[in-house]
């Protein structure tokens, strides 16, 4: 009877040892970091001085990008998700008189066609983009880069000294998943364009430089 008990004890011990090793190994598996929500506010401004039209037009785009990040272990890669223009950008244009290179006093345009354009900031970064009307997507001019894919919203207005392009009630423009190591954060860009009329047949076209908005983790 004593011999049988001894053999049984020896047969159980290796099983317990293997189970303990598995638990220790599981405890050493790195866990991904928490999902963190962020808001990146931005303001972009440009001024177009047009001697031939005797007008200055100042443009301003304001809003924020909301997004989430998570660090993946053990690589340390960061995932940027749910990147969206929220609230949607507010785009304004203010008209002033052109006077010897300066912008002084108020003035009006006969009409304006004004648009804002969004994509990845760099020439090589073309993120996946989701949108709803009145936004539209296509391949067209991107400052300092030539043509690339971008999402745009252009609207027309009549005679005034100030204009505001609203996107109230429209689902936010969203950018697709982005992953990278620390220091490889995604940067998005916006530029504006407009055709400014001083009468029914006289106008000039303006295309701004691109404004960079880089997200943090």
- Encode the chain in three state secondary structure: CHHHHHHHHHHHHHHHHHHHHHHHHHHCCCCCCCCEEEEEEEEEEEEEEECCCCEEEEEEEEEEEEEEEEEECCCCEEEEEEEEECCCCEEEEEEEEEECCEEEEECCECEEEEEEEEEECCCCCCCCEECCCCCEEEEEEECCCEEEEEEEEEEEECCECEEEECCCCCCCCEECCEEECCCCCCEEEEEEEEEEECCCCCEEEEECCCEEEECCC
Residue 84: the pLDDT is: 98
Q: Can you tell me the distance from the alpha carbon of 175 to that of 181, in angstroms, rounded to the nearest whole number? A: 18
Q: Quick one: tokens of 57?
A: 């037009």
Contact 196, 57 (CB under 8 A): yes
Tell me the pLDDT of the chain (217 aa) as tens digits: 444 444 334 343 444 344 444 444 444 567 999 999 999 999 999 999 999 999 999 999 999 999 999 999 999 999 999 999 999 999 999 999 999 999 999 899 999 999 999 999 999 999 999 999 999 999 999 999 999 999 999 999 999 999 999 888 889 999 999 999 999 999 999 999 999 999 999 999 999 999 999 999 8
Give the model's pLDDT for residue 167.
82
- State in Å, rounded, how far the first CA of the chain is from the last one: 67
CB count in 10 Å sphere of residue 68 = 13
- CB atoms under 10 Å from CB of 7, counted, come to 8
Q: CA 123, CA 166: separation in Å to the nearest integer?
A: 28
Among the listed residues 87, 65, 91, 73, the one whose alpha carbon sits nearest the alpha carbon of residue 186: 65
- What's the confidence (pLDDT) of residue 175? 98
Map tokens 């006289």 to a residue: 202
pTM of the model: 0.85
């Amino acid at each position: 009877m004593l011999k049988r008990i001894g053999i049984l004890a020896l047969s159980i011990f290796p099983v317990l040892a293997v189970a303990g090793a598995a638990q220790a190994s599981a405890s050493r598996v790195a866990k991904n970091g928490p999902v963190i929500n962020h808001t990146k506010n931005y303001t972009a401004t440009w001024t177009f001085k047009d001697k031939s039209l005797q007008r200055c037009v100042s443009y301003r785009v304001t809003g924020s990008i909301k997004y989430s990040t998570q660090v993946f272990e053990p690589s340390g890669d960061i995932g940027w998700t749910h990147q969206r223009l929220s609230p949607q950008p507010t785009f304004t244009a203010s008209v002033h008189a052109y006077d010897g290179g300066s912008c002084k006093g108020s003035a009006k345009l006969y009409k304006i066609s004004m648009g804002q354009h969004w994509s990845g900031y760099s020439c090589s970064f073309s993120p996946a983009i989701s949108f709803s009307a009145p936004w539209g997507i296509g391949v067209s001019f991107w400052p300092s880069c030539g043509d690339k894919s971008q999402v745009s919203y252009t609207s027309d207005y009549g005679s005034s000294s100030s204009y505001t392009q609203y996107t109230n009630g429209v689902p936010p423009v969203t950018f697709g998943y982005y992953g990278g190591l620390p220091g490889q954060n995604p940067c998005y860009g916006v530029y504006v364009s407009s055709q400014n009329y001083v009468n029914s047949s006289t106008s000039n076209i303006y295309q701004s430089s691109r404004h960079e908005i880089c997200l943090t983790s």
